[in-house]
Amino acid sequence: MTFTVWRLLATALPALLAAAPPPRGTPDVLMLAARLATATGVRLPVAGLDDAAARGGGGRLAVEARRLREAMA
């Protein structure tokens, strides 16, 4: 079941990250995705993740995007 949720999040995240501004709660979705990617060991592509992670500063969206990117490294 963990893998299924991770796959659903990986499918939904590109649309969330592409929205301007990203919908409220997107950092929480990124945080959950990072936990699931770590737990499953499965690396799935997430379009827009690198751009979100490259945002400057310590905003929560960028922090969680970097966390997910690191979890999938």
pTM, entire model: 0.93
CB atoms within 10 A of CB 5: 15
CA-based nearest residue to 68, from 4, 23, 40: 40
Say whether pLDDT at 63 is over 90: yes
Q: What are phi and psi of 58, to 5 degrees?
A: -110, 25
> Tens digits of per-residue pLDDT, 15-60?
999 999 999 999 999 999 999 999 999 999 999 999 999 987 789 9
Domain limits for position 20: 2-71
The structural domain count of the chain equals 1
The whole-number pLDDT of residue 56 equals: 78
The set of residues, in sequence order, having a beta carbon less than 8 Å from that of 64 and lying 6+ positions away, is 27, 28, 30, 31, 34
DSSP 48: T
The whole-number pLDDT of residue 58 equals: 84
